[in-house]
Amino acid sequence: MYLSKLLYSLPLAATLLLTLPFKSQASQAHSFDAAAKQTASPSATLQQEVHADMNFLADDELHGRGSATRDEHIAALFVASQLQSLGLEPGGDNGTFLQKSTLPVPLPARTQQRIAKFQDIPRKETWNAIAILRGTTSPNEVILLTAHLDHLGIGPANSSGDTNYNGADDDASGTTAVLTLAHILATGPHPKRTIVFALFGSEELGGFGNRAFLAHPPVPLTSIVANLEFEMIGRPDPAVPTGTLWLTGFDRSNLGPELAKHGAHLVNDPHPKENFFRRSDNYALAQQGIIAQTVSSYGLHKDYHQPSDEIRTIDFSHMTNAIASMINPIRWLADSDWKPEWNPGRRPDSNPTGPPPLNAHPPVS
C-alpha cells in the first residue's frame, strides 16, 4: 500500500468448500469470527495453506521482496508456479504465467527519492504473475482479483537492528489471499464468468507492474466487470466490528453493498482521511473506468512500512476467516450477470492521455 500524499507533503482439497461455515445468502453483517465459532474447525486446511504461503513470502530470505529486485522476481516465480499447478491458463508473456516489464531509465525523481534509503541495487525490471480461470457461459465478462507481491526490501535498521522489511501484512497477506482464492475457485465448479488472478510487482514504487498489466492486459480492459484488490488483511482493524473487512471507496459504487448482501463481511472504510481508495493498484484501474476497490483490514498499526511488519504479528485466525468469508460472495459475483456501477458523480477522474499518476512516496520516519 502506498504512503499517503498527505503524510508526504505534509493443495487445498475441494472438500474444504463443504466445510466452510459461511452462508452465501447471508444478508446480515454478522462477523466471520462469530460464524466460524459455529463450526469446530472451519478451515484447518485453508489455514495450513495460508501459513505455508505466508511463511515463504514473508521469510527473511526473501529480503522483503524489494520492488524490481531479484527477490521480487523469486516471489513472482513462486506465485506463478502455484498458479500453474492449479491448471489455470497462463496470463503472462508468451504463454507463461509471468509478465515482465522494464522500468523507465532514469527512474522518476520521486521514485528515486522513494528508494534512496533502501538497499542500493539496480532496479531495471519488474514482474507480475497472472493466471486465467476461463468462464463457462460468460467468458467475456471478467472478475479480476489482485494484490501486490512486492514490498520495500532491505532498508534502514529499526531500534532492534532489523533491516528486513518483510511486508507480512503489506502485502504478503493479500498475495496469499489471491493465491488461496485461486486454489479454491479453480478446484470447485467453474464459474460462468472468467476470473483473472493478477499479482503485481513494484506497487510500492508507484504501480509499475500494474501499469504493465494495463498496457498489456491478458483480457480486454473493457471486459473487466469488477476488480477486488486485497491489501493488508493479516490483522484485524479495531475500528470495525470483529470479523469484518472494509472496502475502499465503499460509497463510490454499489459493489460493496451488493457483495455484503451476498454474505461478504464488508463495511465502509473507517479511515476516509487516509484516502486508501487512491493508495493501491485498484486506483489506476478505477481511473480507466473499471469498478476497482480494495479489500482490507489495516488498522493503522505501527508496523506499516517497518521491519516489524513480520509474520509473528499476523493473526492467522483472522486472516484465514477473512479469506474464507470472501469465497461465496466472489463465487456469487462470478456466477451472476449483475454488473456493478459507479454511484452518480463518484467515478474517479480519469487521465487517459497524460502519464499515469505516481502515488508512491518516501516513508515517513
| Residue 53 engages Zn ion in binding (rule: CB under 5 A) | no
| Residue with smaller CB distance to Zn ion, 262 or 305 | 305
| Residue 1 engages Zn ion in binding (rule: CB under 5 A) | yes
CA dist 296 and 64 (Å) reads 20
| Residue with smaller CB distance to Zn ion, 1 or 142 | 1
Q: How far is the CB of 172 from Zn ion (least distance, A)?
A: 11
| Residue with smaller CB distance to Zn ion, 1 or 107 | 1
Q: Binders of Zn ion: how many residues, by CB under 5 A? A: 2
| Residue with smaller CB distance to Zn ion, 4 or 82 | 4
Q: How far is the CB of 203 from Zn ion (least distance, A)?
A: 7
Instruction: Compute CA distances 19 → 36, 46, 154, 317, whole Å.
Output: 10, 10, 40, 16
Q: How far is the CB of 150 from Zn ion (least distance, A)?
A: 9
| Residue with smaller CB distance to Zn ion, 1 or 196 | 1
Q: How far is the CB of 76 from Zn ion (least distance, A)?
A: 17
| Residue with smaller CB distance to Zn ion, 308 or 328 | 308
User: Of 172-231, which residues contact Zn ion (CB under 5 A)?
Assistant: none
Q: How far is the CB of 281 from Zn ion (least distance, A)?
A: 11
| Residue with smaller CB distance to Zn ion, 32 or 118 | 118
Strand partners, 253: 342
Among 33, 53, 71, 170, binds Zn ion (CB under 5 A): 170
Q: Is 216 left (phi over 0), alpha (psi -120 to 50) or beta?
A: beta
| Residue with smaller CB distance to Zn ion, 170 or 335 | 170
User: Of 270-309, which residues contact Zn ion (CB under 5 A)?
Assistant: none
Give residue 243's identity as a one-letter amino acid code: G
Q: Is 305 left (phi over 0), alpha (psi -120 to 50) or beta?
A: left
Strand partners, 296: 246
Q: How far is the CB of 336 from Zn ion (least distance, A)?
A: 32
| Residue with smaller CB distance to Zn ion, 170 or 258 | 170
Total length of the chain: 365
Binding pattern for the stretch 129-168 against Zn ion, x by CB under 5 A and - elsewhere: ----------------------------------------
Q: How far is the CB of 170 from Zn ion (least distance, A)?
A: 4
Q: How far is the CB of 359 from Zn ion (least distance, A)?
A: 11
Sign of the dihedral through C-alpha 184, 287, 129, 215: positive
Q: How far is the CB of 1 from Zn ion (least distance, A)?
A: 4
Which residue ranges make up the site for Zn ion (CB under 5 A)? 1, 170
